[in-house]
Amino acid sequence: MRQNRKAFAAALAVAALTLSACGSGSADGVKVADKPSFEAGTTMATISAAGKMKVGTKFDQPGFGLKGLDGKLAGFDVEVAKIIAGALGIKAENIEWTESPSKLREELIEKGTVDMVAATYTINDKRKERITFAGPYYVAGQQLMVKSANTKITGPADLKANPDQKVCSVTGSTPAEQIKPFLADPNQLVLFDVYDKCANSLRTDQVQVVTTDNVILLGFVSKSDKAFKLVGEQFTKEPYGIGIKKGDVKFCEFINKTLKDNEAAYTKAWADTAGKVEGAAPATLPEPAPCS
């Protein structure tokens, strides 16, 4: 009897583990369509038939796209990509992720290295010359991050008077361009390929300011053990889009519809990732722009 009870308890424990494995981590709540069908010749039909999807994202941005030591990716962009893949009948484990630093995003899309990019990617006219954007699915704004003890810099207007305060951003990003009018001279700007290099340089006092979108900076602040803070107001609007091949209007419309149809999953994705960070406002899905 005792033996039986033990066996039963063990079986229960296994069942509980199995259940939690199914519903665990970020894959939970993301619907995967069962054998969806799409118009022949569309990108949706091609990806769905392939049974896998190639997605470009960031690997170094807490809250949006961060690769863990276990090789797994976590963040809002990662979850948004899973929602879109799910609507194509593709499970999260069948997504092939490619690191997509800001400067390389258009090229990765043009070359077909990735089917789409979800990577804190601001929709703008210059980029639209090379690619198409679905979305926006979130609107961020540029801000500054400094060390908590820094009292010299309280916003972009203080940068010109303090040329010794080096400002770090990333090549090919919108913040790297938009900060230029606020600088004393071009040497005040330090550019890397990815933001965690800026955060590390701030930690070691090689730069004094990091600038990019508020929500990206909030992710670094949250991992800094109070060493970093945000200063000043947001001074730009950064509507995030999903980058796809130029002119693929059907895929763009499919992505917009998928996000609208999965608004609950979208809201949950935000709450589970970037929305957890102190200072992050809740996300509401914006109206999509017309696809072109």
Q: Which of residues 223-262 bind ligand GLU (CB under 6 A)?
A: 238
Q: Least separation, in Å, of the C-beta of 32 and ligand GLU?
A: 28
Residue 117 touches ligand GLU, criterion: CB under 6 A: no
Residues binding ligand GLU: what is the number (CB under 6 A)? 13
Contacts of 144 (CB under 8 A, 6+ apart): 153, 155, 156, 167, 209, 210, 211, 217, 230, 231, 232
Q: Which of 43, 48, 122, 258 binds ligand GLU (CB under 6 A)?
A: 122
Q: Least separation, in Å, of the C-beta of 37 and ligand GLU?
A: 34
Q: Least separation, in Å, of the C-beta of 114 and ligand GLU?
A: 15
Q: Which of residues 175-194 bind ligand GLU (CB under 6 A)?
A: 175
Q: Which of residues 2-41 bind ligand GLU (CB under 6 A)?
A: none
Q: Least separation, in Å, of the C-beta of 35 and ligand GLU?
A: 35
Beta carbon nearer to ligand GLU, 122 or 208 = 122
Residue 143 touches ligand GLU, criterion: CB under 6 A: no
Beta carbon nearer to ligand GLU, 208 or 211 = 211
Residue 212 touches ligand GLU, criterion: CB under 6 A: yes
In the complex, the residues that contact ligand GLU under the rule CB under 6 A are 102, 119-122, 170, 173-175, 212-213, 216, 238
